[in-house]
């Protein structure tokens, strides 16, 4: 899509580097797959049971990982879904209530039941945060057990029910093991696909930088619901496998310990990783077996392990294995943006009408943050917004980008009023922004962060990403290419694969700009982009901003550096206590008496 002149070195090196990265990422999975496939050669059925159990747990944890590790939702009662899946398969396969169904069919039904329940358990996550959501998931776990106990006619109550037996090639112990291993491998593949898709990046962005995610067009409720459905489905299937492995299930089998195991496997594995939680699950399944007396202590053991990991490596196993990010970065790095590339990445687009703010008013309690503000941002121009601290600049940006709903007035674009309190819809109007304090996903690489900005450009659905279908692959290739181009524009391309939390503050500011550019913005709102930059960097930033605006983008620049404002702005609005103190060209403002008195003179 982008035929832009990238530096020769970078483009010549990229394909091989990509292959090496891919091999590096795939190697651990290949090792696990081979070890898993060869396990029956040991001929030890005891370890066979444990390995099967690890596979079953991983089928559940792989889905939960998207909820906990990626989206950052504290879902600790996931054993409820295992319970429902186990009883659904067992009861339907036993034929006590319905005619006996094929165990494979019951497994599929358990998946559907799990998906429905997963969505129901997930619903509170859209409103409740952290602990409160955690408590509701725990509540569901308790309810599931109580229902099973009370509904004796169907579930057998405390006496229990026999688990399904899978016929055909999967009836023997090792046959069933291979069946579970296959499903575990498929789950690994599917969740890895999601992790490497705009959905996975959106989840992590919701976790670490929610406002930036929304400004990039990530619709949190829809995305979370999709993930809860998926996570519930695989947990339901895991329940069916669990029932078969246990061969007989009673409510006692679904302990709180098990729920804790699932949750902690993800934490010690590392949030936002697939391999880490996979290893975590294997570790926690094996650990109690290594010494029989430890079984009684398993919860204590998990807690101790968690504590140790948090103290030694807060990023979990994944961080311990992340060798690439331990290589030191060059010190004293200077950012050299390349404005000459801007035309290539932003060019050829239709001009928008101006973005106009009409009579905006917004108070917080007694504070009038903005008080009757009129302002027009025109395409192709840089509009400076200055004023003392607390004069309402950031609040203005927040109203434009839909975080706050103004108490009076409106934001008009192309003849329509932009809906208040809908930040995730702004990206579709190609309104992009940066933040006064950079909002980034520290644990993701620089290029992943930038790709978040291109979320709305994707065509493929969640299911297409799950199975890595052509549209998903096309989306990813295009996003990668665009993000690289945007990084080249701001001069950060050499750091593309570095974890964002290793960057300097000034680099993060430029990274946010390249993320915003992913929208090919009609309007770009910059909140103090020069804060923390050196004088040279500020100059280069100024040139970059002007070049972007000349491509037709309307820029709203909030800034404290008066030099930058007067150098590059076409219009300047001065705010004081939420009111316009003065507006005009830089020359007019510079000589405006009130402004000099109230602001510049100080």
By CB under 6 A, name the binding residues for ligand ADP: 364, 367, 369, 387, 389-395
| CA pair distance 79, 254, nearest whole angstrom | 6
User: DSSP readout, 460-501?
Assistant: --HHHHHTT-HHHHHHHHHHHHHHHHHHHHHT-GGGTTSBGG
* Contacted by 350, from Mg ion, ligand ADP, none: CB < 5 to 8 Å by type: none
Q: How far is the CB of 180 from ligand ADP (least distance, A)?
A: 50
* Contacted by 389, from ligand ADP, Mg ion, none: CB < 5 to 8 Å by type: ligand ADP
* Contacted by 390, from ligand ADP, Mg ion, none: CB < 5 to 8 Å by type: ligand ADP
394 binds Mg ion (CB under 5 A): yes
* Contacted by 46, from ligand ADP, Mg ion, none: CB < 5 to 8 Å by type: none
Q: How far is the CB of 539 from ligand ADP (least distance, A)?
A: 24
Q: How far is the CB of 261 from ligand ADP (least distance, A)?
A: 40
The smaller minimum CB distance to ligand ADP, of residues 131 and 364, is found at 364
The smaller minimum CB distance to ligand ADP, of residues 420 and 494, is found at 420
Residue 297 gets which letter from DSSP?
G
The smaller minimum CB distance to ligand ADP, of residues 259 and 395, is found at 395
The smaller minimum CB distance to ligand ADP, of residues 161 and 397, is found at 397
Q: Quick check: 549 and 581 in contact, CB under 8 A? A: no
| CA pair distance 111, 108, nearest whole angstrom | 5
Nearest CA among 234, 229, 247, 230 for reference residue 93 = 247
The smaller minimum CB distance to Mg ion, of residues 299 and 436, is found at 436
398 binds Mg ion (CB under 5 A): no
Stretch that binds Mg ion, among 257-265, 295-303, 385-393, 427-435 (CB under 5 A): 385-393
E strand spans, 317-390:
355-364, 367-377, 382-386
Nearest CA among 320, 329, 358 for reference residue 503 = 329
| CA pair distance 248, 395, nearest whole angstrom | 60
* Contacted by 244, from ligand ADP, Mg ion, none: CB < 5 to 8 Å by type: none
Beta bridge partners of 523: 431, 554
The smaller minimum CB distance to ligand ADP, of residues 319 and 527, is found at 527
Is the sign of the CA dihedral 566, 570, 575, 581 positive or negative?
Answer: positive
Is the sign of the CA dihedral 329, 333, 338, 339 positive or negative?
Answer: positive
Stretch that binds Mg ion, among 60-68, 322-330, 392-400, 488-496 (CB under 5 A): 392-400
The smaller minimum CB distance to ligand ADP, of residues 323 and 364, is found at 364
Interhelix angle for 173-195 vs 8-38, to 10°? 160
E strand spans, 47-183:
161-162
Beta bridge partners of 43: none
Q: How far is the CB of 361 from ligand ADP (least distance, A)?
A: 12
User: DSSP readout, 531-596?
Assistant: TT--HHHHHHHHHHHHHHHHTT-EEEEE-S-HHHHHHH-SEEEEEETTEEEEEE-HHHHHT-HHHI
The smaller minimum CB distance to Mg ion, of residues 279 and 555, is found at 555
Q: How far is the CB of 556 from ligand ADP (least distance, A)?
A: 12
Query: 200-228 b/e with 16+ CB inside 10 Å = b?
Result: bbbbbbbbbbeebbbbbbbbbeebbbbbb
Q: How do 382-386 and 355-364 pair as beta strands?
A: unpaired
Q: How far is the CB of 395 from Mg ion (least distance, A)?
A: 8
The smaller minimum CB distance to ligand ADP, of residues 39 and 557, is found at 557
Per the structure block, which two tokens stand in for 192?
A: 């890895």
The smaller minimum CB distance to Mg ion, of residues 394 and 506, is found at 394
Q: How far is the CB of 365 from ligand ADP (least distance, A)?
A: 7
The smaller minimum CB distance to ligand ADP, of residues 137 and 391, is found at 391
| CA pair distance 573, 558, nearest whole angstrom | 10
Q: How far is the CB of 394 from Mg ion (least distance, A)?
A: 3
In the bound state, the residue with its beta carbon closest to Mg ion is 394
* Contacted by 36, from Mg ion, ligand ADP, none: CB < 5 to 8 Å by type: none
| Count of positions on this chain that bind Mg ion (CB under 5 A) | 3
Nearest CA among 86, 231, 67 for reference residue 155 = 86
Beta bridge partners of 574: 386, 582
| Stretch 429-468 residues interacting with Mg ion (CB under 5 A) | 436
Which of left, alpha, beta for 532 (phi over 0: left; psi -120 to 50: alpha)? left
* Contacted by 571, from Mg ion, ligand ADP, none: CB < 5 to 8 Å by type: none
Q: How far is the CB of 390 from ligand ADP (least distance, A)?
A: 4
Q: How far is the CB of 436 from ligand ADP (least distance, A)?
A: 7
What is the x/- site pattern for Mg ion, positions 95-124, by CB under 5 A? ------------------------------
Q: Quick check: 118 and 235 in contact, CB under 8 A? A: yes
Q: How far is the CB of 581 from ligand ADP (least distance, A)?
A: 12
| CA pair distance 416, 522, nearest whole angstrom | 15
Neighbours of 256 (CB within 10 A): 15
* Contacted by 197, from Mg ion, ligand ADP, none: CB < 5 to 8 Å by type: none
**Residues near Mg ion (CB under 5 A):** 393-394, 436
């Amino acid at each position: 899509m982008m035929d832009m002149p990238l530096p020769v070195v970078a483009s010549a090196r990229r394909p091989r580097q990509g292959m090496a990265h891919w091999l590096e990422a795939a190697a651990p999975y290949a090792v696990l797959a081979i070890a898993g496939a060869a396990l029956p050669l040991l001929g030890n059925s005891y370890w066979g049971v444990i390995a099967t159990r690890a596979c079953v747990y991983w089928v559940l944890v792989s889905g939960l990982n998207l909820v906990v590790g990626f989206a950052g939702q504290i879902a600790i009662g996931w054993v409820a879904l295992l319970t429902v899946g186990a009883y659904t398969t067992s009861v339907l396969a036993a034929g006590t209530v319905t005619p006996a169904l094929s165990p494979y069919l019951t497994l599929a039904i358990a998946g559907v039941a799990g998906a429905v329940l997963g969505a129901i358990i997930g619903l509170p996550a859209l409103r409740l945060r952290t602990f409160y959501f955690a408590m509701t998931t725990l509540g569901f776990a308790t309810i599931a057990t109580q229902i099973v106990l009370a509904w004796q006619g169907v579930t057998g109550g405390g006496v229990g029910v026999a688990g399904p037996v899978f016929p055909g090639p999967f009836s023997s112990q090792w046959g069933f093991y291979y069946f579970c291993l296959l499903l575990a491998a498929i789950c690994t593949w599917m969740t890895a696909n999601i992790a490497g898709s705009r959905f996975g990046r959106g989840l992590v962005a919701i976790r670490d930088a929610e406002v930036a995610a929304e400004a990039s067009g990530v619709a949190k409720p829809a995305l979370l619901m999709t993930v809860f459905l998926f996570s519930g489905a695989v947990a339901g299937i895991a329940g069916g496998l669990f029932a078969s492995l246990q061969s007989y299930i009673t409510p006692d089998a679904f302990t709180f310990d098990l729920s804790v195991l699932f949750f902690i496997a993800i934490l010690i594995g590392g949030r936002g990783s697939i391999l880490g939680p996979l290893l975590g699950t294997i570790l926690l399944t094996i650990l109690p077996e290594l010494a029989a007396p430890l079984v009684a202590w398993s919860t204590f053991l998990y807690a101790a392990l968690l504590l140790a990991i948090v103290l030694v490596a807060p990023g979990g196993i994944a961080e311990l294995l992340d060798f690439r990010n331990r290589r030191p970065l060059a010190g004293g790095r200077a950012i050299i943006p390349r404005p000459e590339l801007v035309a290539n990445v932003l060019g050829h687009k239709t001009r928008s009408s101006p973005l106009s703010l009409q009579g905006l008013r917004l108070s917080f309690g007694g504070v009038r943050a903005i008080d009757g503000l009129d302002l027009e941002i025109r395409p192709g121009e840089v509009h400076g917004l200055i004023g003392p601290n607390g004069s309402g600049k950031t609040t203005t940006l927040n109203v434009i980008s839909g975080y706050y709903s103004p108490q009076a007035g409106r934001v008009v674009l192309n003849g329509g009023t932009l809906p208040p309190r809908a930040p995730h819809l702004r990206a579709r109007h190609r309104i992009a922004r940066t933040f006064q304090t950079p909002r980034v996903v520290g644990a993701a690489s620089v290029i992943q962060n930038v790709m978040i900005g291109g979320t709305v450009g994707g065509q493929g659905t969640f299911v297409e990403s799950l199975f890595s279908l052509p549209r998903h692959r096309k989306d990813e290739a295009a996003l990668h290419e665009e993000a690289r181009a945007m990084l080249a524009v701001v001069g950060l391309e050499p750091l593309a694969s570095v974890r964002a939390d290793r960057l300097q503050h000034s680099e993060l500011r430029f990274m946010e700009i390249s993320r915003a550019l992913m929208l090919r913005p009609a309007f770009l709102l910059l909140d103090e982009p020069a804060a923390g930059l050196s004088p040279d960097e500020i100059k280069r930033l100024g040139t970059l901003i002007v070049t972007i605006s000349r491509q037709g983008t309307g820029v709203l620049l909030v800034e404290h550096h008066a030099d930058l404002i007067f150098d590059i702005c076409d219009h300047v609005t001065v705010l004081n206590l939420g009111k316009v103190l003065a507006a005009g060209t830089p020359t007019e403002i510079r000589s405006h008496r009130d402004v000099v008195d109230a602001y510049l003179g100080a």
